[in-house]
Structure 1
Amino acid sequence: MKEALWYKNLEQKQVECNLCPHNCILTHMQEGTCGARVNQNSKLIAKNYGKVSATAIDPIEKKPLFHFYPGTDILSLGTVGCNLSCKFCQNHHIAHNNKAQTESLNSEEVIKLADKHNLIGVAYTYSEPIIWFEYILDTAKLVQGAGMKNVLVTNGLINPEPLKELLPYIDGFNIDLKAFTDDFYQEVCQGYIAPVKETIKLANKSSLVEVTTLLIPGLNDSEEEIKELTEWLAEIDPNIPLHFSRYFPKYKLKREPTPVETLIQAKEIAEERLNFVYLGNIQQQKYRNTYCHECNKLIVERNFQAVQLHLKNGLCPECDTEINIIT
């Protein structure tokens, strides 16, 4: 356990955690909403520091990151806990299970593991990495110092000042934009949309950002909402890749799976404003490929066996349009 950053002491031995917008006020031995931070004798303790619930070597495309070193592998690490409570949680066995097994892995061991397998770096993922803030900050500094990359796969629910402290060390983000209404965030995820939107804006100023939205029938898949989401994202940068992912029944939400036709329609709507829109959790390969937004030339071909890159010095080989893919 390690003393947490970003908190302040209050009267009557309470502390206020200021890492995320919940700003939990905690009495002695009380845990925050995330389950990872606890008040111990008027000190906020990050009880998940160095505690790893899942470790894997993944293709970078699995994050999903499609414009960040395509075809490479990355070390993926997760911890336990989350500061949202999404009814459709894909990793509830570690996000909402205090008894989930973990092992200790210090930052130096992470570097050795990534280097041993000749990986491009480390992705903090699976559960919510924001609540792992102190460990990620320490590890990311070493990863960067070793010449490797850091990736954050996150729900984006973090206060601006802690995010700004982390940003110099994070090279790539995939940020979940769960929906585009505050009602959805409050009722389905027990969170707030405004801080997530701010995270996307801030992260995009210094890192490569991709955004993922899981489309759930009847909850966040209306044409109007998809149009509003994509118009807002395009105002930030039309080159931000957007991934629409297919929902399947999970955890506490038992709706029917999203029709593939709904995802295809969402892609068509989004492409009116955005240059790169992808579909996930479906079989059709063409919706994972990258095409030039000017001439429709195949730029990156992604299948389950390999990734083929057809860029020429960062440009489309057909029409010389610049493509925002880091290689």
Structure 2
Amino acid sequence: MKLKKEAFFYEKLENNRVKCYLCPHGCNIREGNIGICRVRKNDNGKLYTLNYGQITSYAYDPIEKKPLYHFYPGKNIFSIGSFGCNLKCSFCQNWQIAHETPPAQWAKPKDLITLANRNNSIGIAYTYNEPSIWYEFVLETANEAKKNNLKNVLVTNGYIQEEPLKKLLPYIDAMNIDVKSFSNKYYKELCGGELEPVLRTVEIANKSVLVEITTLIVQDENDDLENLEKLFKWISSIDKEIPLHLTRYYPSYKLKNEATKIETIVKAKDIAKKYLDYVYIGNVWGVDRNTYCPNCKALIVDRTTEGKVVDLEGEKCKECGYKINIVN
């Protein structure tokens, strides 16, 4: 089943064209055509969303897989995704649903609320493909989740305009935002987008919800330590308590560079720790994933097995009283 749903955030133009204002691309779409994201279509001078209620992927995941390390550690969350994306990253890890049109199942928001209440799940994570271009369905489902005392999490590339972002944020509890590089050239050449809108999303979201950032370090592309240090400084200027995940790239989709050298990621973490309180390494086996108090170095969350909070009293470290940026 497919529901024809008129899209939000667009303007009707002459000659049956429409202009979409959901993301920074601002697609000007002719009659019968679709936007860059592939899920918003001009049908007779109106813009419709093509992926409303279309579920291509779902699972009950540990919250740490999003990755979110500072939001209800050790809990499960019901993860869902659709298809489409408004960036064209040549290294996309989920290209089968982001850039293809896989089989999908129809679901209503209330169906997902029922599922999100099972398996000790704390709520819903909108993930796998880019949730912002699934906007109408995410907004409606997140509203229903809130009414049912469930949490809402976005795992997003952050490529969204300010108005739709601000309309969605009251329903969101936490976000993991990809900041793929601190280079606009990198965004243009490898991702088909621009850096500045993503930085703006981080700034706006961090005022309202718990934000964590992921940077995939790609061998020979964005692994320059000087540029990475600029990113770390910028994050610190927003909030040094934002958790940062430095993730190892493996060859995927169109990009066949070798896997990122582990020593590069370790060096990047060492630099990041000069500016940020919480830095983690992802996609590398055997690394320390625990959370420690930035002040006294006491173990706060033990992730050797699962995310077990071991030394937190309210929002503070039991050992020294330092406020820890964890929602628990």
Give TM class, smaller chain.
Answer: over 0.9
Aligned to 2:178: 176
Q: Deviations over 1:191-214 (max 9, x none)?
A: 010000000000000000000000
- 1:120 match: secondary structure: strand
Match of 1:133 in 2: 135
Residue 117 of structure 1: how far off its partner (Å): 2.9
- C-alpha contact 1:285 1:302 (8 A) present in aligned 2: no
Per-residue deviation, residues 247-280 of structure 1 (Å, max 9, x unmatched) = 0000011111111111110011001010000000
List structure 1 segments (4+ residues) > 6 angstroms apart after TM superposition: none
Separation in 2, partners of 1:234, 1:89 = 27
2:272 to 258, 263, 270: 270
2:293, 2:29 → 1: CA distance? 51
Paired residue for 2:309?
A: 309
Equivalent position SS for 2:93: coil
Corresponding residue for 1:60? 63
Q: Map of 1:75-224 to 2, 5 A cutoff?
A: 75-98=78-101, 100-224=102-226
Alignment of 1:251-262 (within 5 A): 251-262=253-264
Q: What secondary structure is seen at the aligned counterpart in 2 of 1:251?
A: coil
Question: Cα offset for 1:118?
Answer: 3.4
Question: Which amino acid in structure 1 is aligned with residue 298 of structure 2?
Answer: K
Taking structure 2 as the reference length, what is the TM-score of the superposition? 0.97
Aligned counterparts of 1:23 and 1:307: Cα–Cα separation in 2 = 41
> CA shift at 1:107, angstroms?
0.2
Which residue in the other structure is 1:28 paired with? 31
What is the Cα-based RMSD across aligned positions, in Å? 0.8
> Alpha-carbon deviation of 1:217?
1.5
Q: Number of residues paired by the alignment?
A: 324
**2:248 aligns to what?**
246
Letter in 2 for 1:179: S
Could you tell me which runs of 5 or more consecutive residues in structure 2 were left unpaired when the two chains were aligned: none
How far the C-alpha of 1:146 sits from its partner, in A, is 0.4
Conservation of the 8 A alpha-carbon contact between 2:281 and 2:287: no
Does the Cα contact within 8 Å between 1:82 and 1:131 map onto a contact in 2?
Answer: yes
Does the CA-based 8 Å contact 2:75-2:120 persist in structure 1?
no
Q: Do structure 1's residue 48 and structure 2's residue 51 form an aligned pair?
A: yes
Give TM-score scaled by structure 1 length.
Answer: 0.98
Q: Please give the alpha-carbon distance, in whole angstroms, between the structure 2 residues aligned to 1:118 and 1:249.
A: 34
Instruction: Give 1:284-323 correspondences, 5 Å limit.
Output: 284-286=286-288, 288-303=289-304, 305-310=305-310, 311-323=312-324
1:314 Cα deviation from its structure 2 partner: 1.9
